[in-house]
A and B are shown apart, each in its own frame.
Chain A
C-alpha cells in the first residue's frame, strides 16, 4: 500500500515543474504544456485525496470536470495561438509586444 504522501510528492513535482515551464518558456504552446502539467498535478491530488481522504468519489468527479475543461481550454487557446500566428507569424510571447509601449 503506497502512502498518500508519495502521490502528493509526485503531484508537487509536477506542479512546480509546470510553474517552472510557465515562468521560463516564451513559446505559447510551451506555456500551455506547463499549464497542462499544473492541471495534471491538481488532478492527481484530487484523485489521491478522493481515495484516502474522503468516503465518496467527489475528487474523481472534480477531476473528470477538470479534464473536460482542460480540453476545451486547450482548444480555445490553440485557436487563439493559430489566429495570432497568422497575424504575427510568431508565437513567441516576447514578440507579441505591440501592447507594451
Chain B
C-alpha cells in the first residue's frame, strides 16, 4: 500500500464518516459542522482526481458560502442562545432500509457495470481548460448560470425583505 493509498483511505473515511454524523447526529449544529469535513473530504478527492480548480471552487463555495448560509439558517431559526438544537427523527427504520437498498444497488452498479474507460491520462492542471471551455463550448450554460444567479439573488432578497413596500 503506497502513501497515496493511505491518504486516500483516510480521506474516504473522514468524508463518509462525517457524512454519517451529518445525517445521524441529533444536534443540528454538529450536523452542520461535520458537513464541513465532508466538503473538505470531497475537495481532497477532487485533488486526487486532478481537478484542482474544482477543489478550490468546492472549498470556496461550499465551505465559504453554503456552509455559512446553513449555519445562519440554523442559528436564525432557533432561539439563538439555546444549545439544544436537536431535531426529531422520523421513520428511522424505513429510512435506513431505503438508504441501504439505494446504497447496495448503486455500489453494485459501481462495481459491476462496465463503465466507459479511456486510457490512463496524465494529470494536468485544468484551470486553463475550464476557463477556455467557459468561453467556448460552455458559453451558453455560463450565461444561463448567471441568469440563474440573478434570479436567485432577486428572489432571496425579495423573500427576506420584511416590509411590503420597497
Contacts and interface: CB of A to CB of B under 8 A. Distances in A.
B74 A54 contact: no
A85 to B, nearest CB: 4
A8 B110 contact: yes
A54 B118 contact: yes
A75 B69 contact: yes
Interface string A50-78: 11111101001101110111111111101
B163 interface: no
Interface residues of A, number: 71
Contacts of B162: 86
B110 A9 contact: yes
Contacts of A83: 159-160
A63 to B, nearest CB: 6
Contact of A44 (B42, B95, B116): B42
Residue from the set B66, B90, B129 with the largest chain A CB neighbour count within 10 Å = B66
Contacts of B51: 47, 50-51, 60, 63
B81 interface: no
In this complex, the interface size class of chain B, counting residues with CB under 8 Å from chain A, is 35 or more
B23 A48 contact: no
Interface of B: 4-5, 8, 12, 15-16, 19-20, 22-23, 28, 31-32, 35, 38-39, 42, 45-46, 48-51, 53-54, 57-58, 61-62, 65-66, 69-70, 72-74, 76-77, 87-92, 94-96, 98-100, 102-103, 106-107, 109-111, 115-118, 120-121, 126, 129-130, 133-134, 138, 141, 145, 148-149, 151-153, 155-156, 159-160, 162
Interface of A: 1-2, 4-21, 23-27, 29-30, 32-34, 36-37, 40, 43-44, 47-55, 57, 60-61, 63-65, 67-76, 78-83, 85-86, 91-92, 94
Given A13-B19, A53-B116, 10 more contacts: A2-B4, A21-B22, A23-B94, A23-B99, A27-B88, A29-B32, A61-B130, A61-B138, A67-B58, A75-B153
27 contacts: A2-B4, A4-B115, A5-B111, A7-B45, A10-B16, A10-B45, A12-B107, A16-B102, A20-B99, A23-B91, A23-B99, A25-B87, A32-B73, A37-B38, A47-B54, A49-B115, A50-B49, A51-B51, A54-B118, A64-B54, A67-B54, A74-B69, A78-B156, A79-B156, A79-B159, A82-B76, A86-B162
